Amino acid sequence: MAGKPMIMHAASCDLDEIKIPFHIAEGLDEWDRSRTWLITRTDQGLRLKHRHRHEDGSLDAVTNYGGNTNRTGTAERQEFAVDAESIASFQANDLDQSVNNVWAVEISQPGQSNAHFSYELRRPETADGRYFRVEFDLSKPVAPPPPPWGD
């Protein structure tokens, strides 16, 4: 993903769910449209899930993984600790390094000149110390991307 253009799109949003397709450029006018982030409201807080699809629209073997907020968070930042369903999926697919994942999303207050949406993944040093973060500039509108595969 490093160095490739990326785009996210809050494709739908209501009181209980936000769908955010996340595309990565694979060439001129070609996008990997396999990923959608789903943020839903639960009785205990918020849940982040990752939907992964193949180009034909079928679900990937590793999909619907993510976690729940363990703390209240803030209007700008929410953290999601890996859930039991995801741990089981990671273990079944030989992705043991992912069983300690913590994801976070951040969004700045509207109207700021440096408005951004950020997504990150962290793993503790005991797993592999991975840290991935991508920031999207919300201060300049762009054309909506094509829909994710399968939608």
Secondary structure class of 129 (helix, strand, coil): coil
* pLDDT at residue 148 in the model: 94
User: Residue length, the chain?
Assistant: 151
* pLDDT tens for each residue of 94-140: 999 999 999 999 999 877 888 999 999 999 877 678 899 999 999 88
pTM exceeds 0.75 for this model? yes
CB distance 92 to 68 below 8 Å: no
Amino acid at position 4, single letter: K
* pLDDT at residue 105 in the model: 97
* pLDDT at residue 59 in the model: 97
Rounded mean pLDDT, 47-71: 96
Secondary structure class of 96 (helix, strand, coil): helix
- What is the percent of the chain with per-residue pLDDT over 70, rounded to a whole number? 99
* pLDDT at residue 109 in the model: 81
Amino acid at position 28, single letter: L
CB distance 78 to 67 below 8 Å: no
* pLDDT at residue 71 in the model: 87
Alpha carbons 37 and 51: distance in angstroms, whole number: 6
* pLDDT at residue 110 in the model: 74
Distance of CA 138 to CAs 39, 71, 83, 132, Å?
19, 26, 30, 19
* pLDDT at residue 128 in the model: 77
pLDDT: is 29 or 8 the higher one?
8
CB distance 35 to 21 below 8 Å: yes
Rounded mean pLDDT, 60-80: 94
Buried b (16+ CB within 10 A) or exposed e, 9-31: beeeeeeeebbbbbbeeeeeeeb
pLDDT for residue 67 is more than 90: yes
pLDDT for residue 84 is more than 80: yes
